[in-house]
Amino acid sequence: MTNNEKALKMHEEWNGKIETTAKAHVNSREDLAIAYTPGVAEPCKVIAQDPEAAYKYTMKANTVAVVSDGSAVLGLGNIGALAAMPVMEGKAVLFKEFGGVNAVPICLDTQDTEEIIKSVVNIAPAFGGINLEDISAPRCFEIETRLKELLNIPVFHDDQHGTAIACLAAVIGALRFVKKDMKTAKFVVNGCGAAGSAIGRLLISMGAENVTMVDRFGALYEGIDANLDRIQSYLATVTNKEHKKGTLADIAKGVDVLIGVSAPNVFTKEIIASMADKAIVFALANPVPETSYADAIEAGAAVAGTGRSDSPNQVNNVTVFPGVFRGAIDVRAKAITEEMKVAAVYAISELIDEKDLRADYVVPDAFDPRVAPAVAAAVARVAMETGIARIKVDPEEVRANTMKRVGR
């Protein structure tokens, strides 16, 4: 039986990967009177007077909504809300298993931007955070931006920021291994969709000064005659300061780091061989990457990685979103900021000591038990330092509680 066949069989047996489990058990009339009417009126009255009390008396304190419209699901494309359910259920499982965070899959049967925004705003009171998932670009940019403006809880589009954080953690490890510097290294990001645009923006936030974005129209530069979305237009003003023009093959020559979030098999051996000495290649197209790990190394890359679990240096969002939300909701953060994302990058990358770095080990494994606690502590600390947190909690307490919650 292949893994695909086994997956279909197990999904049938599970009949849904998550379920509701009661924390309050009702075995007597007294139990019923306390958990439901009339006793339930007491916390209702408190919350009506003080909305912040919802964090104390309800599941809001540890629950996020995983929201999708099914328009950009994995490599399957626009398969709709119902067909997206297995992915959103899976995401909820990962939130719980890796971060101890309760998550509810919400698949909206609309792809209208305004309807999605209105729907999420209307359900938001029940949740401590909103994880947006598998919503196509460029609508995902507008939806996330508007929701961040309208809500006072964390809103995080994982396809953008989870991918960017996981990628940059791996990049930092690789740069440390080959003894190159973020500020002076030359970067090319191939693919200017949701993930690629977020990687480009995070590179700039982290001090990279030589970044070029490449898409179907070639290299992105200020003044390019192309139909750009709002985020691509911004990136055109802050990247490729030399106004280099041409195809990926042209732009990749002599660069230090090549990152792909684009299409299968587009990083040829010739392109990789044309890069600088001690080149770094991260091919993150899913499920088939721009190059295989083996082909990248054979072509001359000093360090390579993909999103696949069957190769070294896997770049996996599961190292990111459970810890990011764990830290954010533990301090009742009002948002997830750029500073919190950068903190998550360094929290992941710094788990590998200099002496332990190898060409095939520049980023922690998805099952490394230190990852989510480290990310949660770092995110909570920065949220408090920057005034985003509603409450103060010792970051080391956040770390310890995360370890306890996930049993890792």
What is the set of domains in the chain, with CATH numbers? 3-153 (3.40.50.10380), 158-408 (3.40.50.720)
Active-site option among 91, 96, 180, 341: 91
User: What pLDDT does 15 receive?
Assistant: 96
pLDDT at 228: 87
> Would you call 319 helix, strand, or coil by DSSP?
helix
Q: What is the pLDDT of residue 217?
A: 87
For residue 121, give the H/E element and its range: helix 113-123
pLDDT at 76: 87
pLDDT for the residue 407: 82
- Residue pLDDT, tens place only, 243-265: 999 999 999 999 999 999 999 99
* Ranges of the chain with pLDDT below 70: 408
404 is catalytic: no
The predicted pLDDT at position 14 comes to: 96
Helices (H), 262-364: 269-273, 293-298, 321-330, 338-349
Phi-psi group of 211: left, alpha or beta (phi > 0 → left; psi -120 to 50 → alpha; rest → beta): beta
Mode of pairing for the β-strands spanning 211-215 and 280-283: unpaired
Q: Is 245 a catalytic residue?
A: no
- How much is the pLDDT for 408? 64
DSSP string covering 74-103: TTTB--HHHHHHHHHHHHHHHHHHHH--EE
pTM of the model: 0.95
- Catalytic site residue from 6, 9, 36, 241: 36
- What contacts 24+ positions apart, CB below 8 Å, involve 361-365? 361/312, 361/313, 362/170, 362/173, 362/174, 362/176, 362/177, 362/303, 362/305, 362/313, 363/166, 363/169, 363/170, 363/173, 363/305, 363/313, 363/314, 363/315, 363/319, 364/169, 364/319, 365/314
Report how far residue 21's alpha carbon sits from residue 40's, in angstroms, rounded to the nearest whole number. 19
Of 27, 26, 46, 45, nearest to 36 by C-alpha is 26
